[in-house]
Chains A and B, each alone.
Chain A
Amino acid sequence: MRTARIALIILATLVIGSPVTPADAQGTPGLTADEIKIGALGALTGPGYLYGRLIMNGAEVVYNEVNKAGGINGRKITLVREDDRCDAASAIAAAKKLIFQHQVFMLHGGGCSNASIAARPEIEKAGIPWVVFASVADEVTLPTAPYIFSTALAASIESAAQLEFALQQGAKKIAVISMRDAWGRARYNPLMETFKRKGVTPVADEEMSPDANDATPQVLRLRQASPDAVIIVLYPKAAAVYMRDAAKLGFKPMQIGQTALGDLLVFRDQVAIPNALDKFYTISHVRYTPEDPEMERWRGLLEKYFPNDRMSVYNIMGIASATVVVEALKRAGRDLTRDRLRDELNKLKDFNTNIYPGVITCTPTDHQCHKTPAFMLLTGDKVKTVGVATVTR
């Protein structure tokens, strides 16, 4: 008995005093000699799937092609998906599952901003690299967190770009229609600050509920102000209702949307009134549309891996963002760790994906790596890029 007790004390001393923790003994989570496990976080179901599943599909096309070519420094990429359902509670659960259950090396995802904002503290606490592919809320990357980077445009950048574009197009009288929920305020507040900075006052400033089925009061009040341009800070459904009612009432100024209305062909089908989008410009994260010849190769690959997907701008966003992830992983080298990946992302300067309108540049103090929105216009059945802006935050 006494001998057993002494043995136990010695064993306990050895374990407590040992510098080797169980985690160290296993190595970096999600990383083996031949595999890098990447966790994809986003909406797989529900209305937010555009900003989740479709983007993930685009990213997975890139990862599949990289794997086919031998992987990154000898390691193949495995993409593990979790559904955040575009809501806060599910996002936290999904992030935890990816980090602690699947034990991924890094995260590549974040579609709906509210979900990403909710998941951010958990992800930050875990010290896991996270490259955001679509969430635009500034709170996702501000304040700057060591391991969180974004290849999506930020709401404040888009809002500033909308006003810049209106002014560049010669608009003198500019009106605003917006939603004032959390998503809308994240854009509306920076937009109003930009108006102030430019010394411009909106001639009308109307509000619309996300669930509204009728925009008659809004359109009539805007029409009374006779604006040259209307800046639209609305989610797709509300925007479609607004554009329908604007068309019915013959209200046709220049209308300037944002990335939530990034797929003009889908938006045109939703509005479903001929010529309603004649003077409708929107912002896109990416330079190209699915029909552009430059996207032909990617279109073919998407059809091969995801036959049910009709290529959309969201797939292209995933392709572009995954290109950045792959580049950073390559640069981090064979001795890959989370810290090395972070360091390479911090050093990424003027990286041209050939898909984003501008270059990708991250710095240690600014992890908002994409600052160049493209403006698109639908002409007939063709979506054209009509301008590119670089906006600082």
Chain B
Amino acid sequence: MLRACARLLRPGGRIAFFTIEVAPDLSPDDHRIAAAAGPPVAEGPDISEQLRRAHFVDVISEDRSSEYLETARRWLDARLRQRDKIRPVDPAVYDDRIRDGQTAVPLIEQGLLRRNLYVARKLR
């Protein structure tokens, strides 16, 4: 998708995005657990390197996992507290979201899932 972004941007155009990733250098078991968790997670080559290969420059990468954990906890807490309002609309969707949150929070706490910010510019 990053190559497609480079094609669509004008020279000098900017890209900024967050992405959730499986932490590098995990044991095979931990990697499998993290990769199986929702939300879907990015795998494959380092994203900073992918940006450079797609002719982006001035690449910035920042680890935002602590904010990710804070937001995931807030979502879970808020949904649980407002269960009586949200769940009746569609119990299956609500239960999925609760299950996603209850799966993701411990994995973020353990460092298996990360969230990063990337900023870059297309070469002029």
To the question of whether A and B form a pair in one complex, the answer is no
